[in-house]
Amino acid sequence: MKQGLPEFVIDFKHYFTLPTDEVYIRLQLETKRRCFLLSQYLEHLSDRFFFYQNRVVLDKEHKSE
């Protein structure tokens, strides 16, 4: 029986990373694939993440002249 995940929101302000070695160990030991993104959606998500990371952050008090 195929199981997926419900729709969810991704918050690019809060994320974590794992070392590559740990990811491979976890994949072998304890992980089951629940879903996947088709190529065009995966590329769009990746683009949105990197556009967010490359933005110029301004102070809340910033005023444009």
Instruction: State pLDDT tens for residues 12-29.
Output: 888 888 999 998 898 888
**pLDDT averaged over every residue in the chain:** 82
pLDDT digits (tens, 9 = 90+) for 28-58: 887 777 778 889 999 999 999 998 888 887 7
Return the pLDDT at 60.
75
Return the pLDDT at 1.
63
Phi and psi angles of residue 44, each rounded to the nearest 5 degrees, phi first: -65, -45
Give the largest CA-CA distance in the chain.
59
Return the pLDDT at 20.
94
Cα distance between residue 44 and residue 53, in whole Å: 14
Q: Which one, of 37, 44, 48, 40, lies nearest residue 15 by Cα?
A: 48
CA atoms within 13 A on the CB side of 35: 10
Is pLDDT above 70 for 4? no
